[in-house]
Chains A and B, each alone.
Chain A
Amino acid sequence: MSSVAIERALAVRCRALTKTYGAGVNAVQALRGIDLDVLQGEMSLLVGPSGCGKTTLISLIAGILDRSGGECEVLGQDLARLGDRERAAWRGRNVGFVFQALNLVPTLTAAENVAIPLMILGARYDAALLRAGAMLERVGLGGRERSLPGSLSGGQQQRIAIARALVHEPRLVVCDEPTSALDHETGHKVMELLREVAAREDRALIVVTHDARIFSFADRIAHMDDGHVDRIETPTRS
């Protein structure tokens, strides 16, 4: 770890984290004791083969799955201590999501899609749309507020998803394969955008990816295999 990283606060701290799906003979152990630290102000990549537990790990970190054992503190909060409603509210305030399948609502405009996290937090429709418009401007989609996702390109849809993940100023952003459906150039632009718009001293970015082309964007890379973190590397960025 670099000395700069050591000075930064911990966004995520996992120790001996386990997750088992099912029970008895049908039990499947997805995570077998994960130790992982994610620092604020950094972009961390979770990489590894399919089925190695990357998605389960970010689901636990983002508070949408319950752990089976171990410890996991996210932004200073042990999520296991929160009830369902409290945890949903915590996610709403603190986590931004960029899903692999984007999960944009096709019948809503770009601005309305981006405004959803704000309205979940209680913002009024018009005010939320105003902020969403500003966020779309920041990701380079100014003037496309009223466009439906279906009328936009894959890269533009990805930008909407990124705007939606950031519009409510979350302290943790979780991205699942953000470049998997994009060509090299668009994927590169998306990662640049993430680094440019999302990176902040008090914000941590966790990106799950297979895409080795984007490893150079990471501050640290956690290599996973069979429910473990095998090694963590801190690449030197060019």
Chain B
Amino acid sequence: MIRIALRMLIGDRMKYIGLVAGLAFAALLITQQGSIFAGYTLRSGSWIRDTAQADLWIMDPQVSFTEDRKAMLDSSLLRVRGIEGIEWAVPMYKAYVQCRLQDGTRVIVRLVGIDDATLTGGPPLMLEGTLDALKQDRGVLVDGIDVDDGLRLDHASDAEGPRALRVGDRLDINEHETVVVGIYGRTTEFFWDPVIYTTYSRALRMAPPERKQLTFVLAKVKRGFDAQEVAARITASTGLRADTSDQFEQRSMDYILSKTGILVNFGITIGLGFVIGVLISGQLLYNFILENQRAFAAMKAMGADNWMLLRMVFAQVLLAAFVGFGIGVGVAAASGAVFEGTKLAFMMAWQVPVFGGLAILVCSLLAALISIQRVLRLEPAIVFKG
């Protein structure tokens, strides 16, 4: 009877297409928005993942995310280096500063100062020049990926049109003249302000004077030591927070989700997709049942019990859900491919289609529940009414 049920549904082309389209639309909304949400939340940890050399991030206990500057005393670095299990520890400066390009454009940038001696904590990829070039006088590295977000010269010269910064260009950071000595590449982040790398000592010279200036300490754990145990030892000894990269990424992501409303916004869209799916598929399935109620009643008269009819309705709705989900996820994935390389964050992790599939399953089962009442209440005696 399952095959008969499916033939009944597929044969009614308009209802079938409507039902599949409703569920496909819901699947598209849920998985596409879910993927964009996943993409954005993943971006909140991009900078941490790009700074891959460190096992531990040591910071003030009040720091909530990557851009939260609550500086520590410089002596904190030495205290961390003294902890058992630390192989090396280097300082890092990070703060928002003012930057003026040579054509006069002013931009707020994130200035990152990395260890002068080892250059640990630098960008993951050099597009032009080398990391060592930072050792040149007044040298800075600028982002070569996201040039549209500020670090571009709109009026470089009369002969040239707008262009990205090049090696050799000059820029003022907090009234300190610097020279671009390299162009780096990075993973797109949740935060959009450009990041400029320089050495730690140069960053401190350019930064506004403060008593505390050390933003992070990056540390490597000796082989044979457990990172969590070493982190706990650092906290016990210094009072500072020591996170593994994963912990810091999770903390940053949690903070962004709790403070930005991004979760609520995407949640509403995904919820709307779910509601639309239930309403459209419920309405169409209900109409389908209504139009076929005499056929179902005739089957009841001919010996089909409620359980058999329930299985038929579930089979119909599950077929529509399966096809609709496939189409919806396919279109969502295709849209992801179309937007690849743009600023749109799109990350279809395996959890997204799994969640989307479960949502569509629940959606279709709810739609079936609405309609099933009609089938269960059907009196087979109505078949004798003309």
Contacts and interface: CB of A to CB of B under 8 A. Distances in A.
B4 interface: yes
Contacts of B303: 88-93, 95, 117, 120-121
Contacts of A65: 381
Given A88-B303, A92-B303, A119 B4 contact: yes
Contacts of A112: 4, 7
| Residue in A58, A64, A121 with the greatest tally of chain B CB atoms within 10 Å | A64
Interface stretch (A31-39, A103-111, A151-159): A103-111
A101 interface: yes
Interface stretch (B65-73, B264-272, B292-300, B354-362): B292-300
B11 A107 contact: yes
A59 interface: yes
A102 to B, nearest CB: 9
Given A105-B8, A107-B8, A177-B386, A84 B305 contact: yes
Interface residues of B, number: 31
B18 interface: no
Contacts of B306: 84
Nearest to A123: B1
A97 interface: yes
A92 B294 CA distance: 17
A97 B298 contact: yes
Contacts, number: 89
Nearest to A109: B7
B299 A59 contact: no
Contacts of A93: 303
Interface in B1-25: 1, 3-4, 7-12
A105 B292 CA distance: 8
Contacts of A58: 384
B384 A99 contact: yes
Nearest to B384: A55
Contacts of A95: 302-303
Contacts of B334: none
B126 interface: no
A125 B4 CA distance: 8
A108 B7 contact: yes
A135 interface: no
B295 A120 contact: no
A100 interface: yes
A176 B384 contact: yes
A65 B381 CA distance: 7
Contacts of B3: 125
B302 A101 contact: no
Contacts of B381: 59, 64-65
A181 to B, nearest CB: 9
Contacts of A107: 7-12
Given A103-B294, A108-B7, A120-B299, 5 more contacts: A97-B383, A101-B386, A105-B292, A119-B4, A120-B308
Nearest 8 pairs of A and B residues by beta carbon: A92-B303, A107-B11, A103-B298, A64-B380, A88-B305, A55-B384, A91-B303, A105-B295
18 contacts: A58-B384, A59-B381, A64-B379, A64-B383, A65-B381, A91-B302, A103-B298, A103-B383, A105-B4, A107-B7, A108-B4, A108-B7, A112-B4, A112-B7, A115-B4, A116-B1, A117-B303, A125-B3
Interface of B: 1, 3-4, 7-12, 292, 294-295, 297-308, 379-381, 383-386
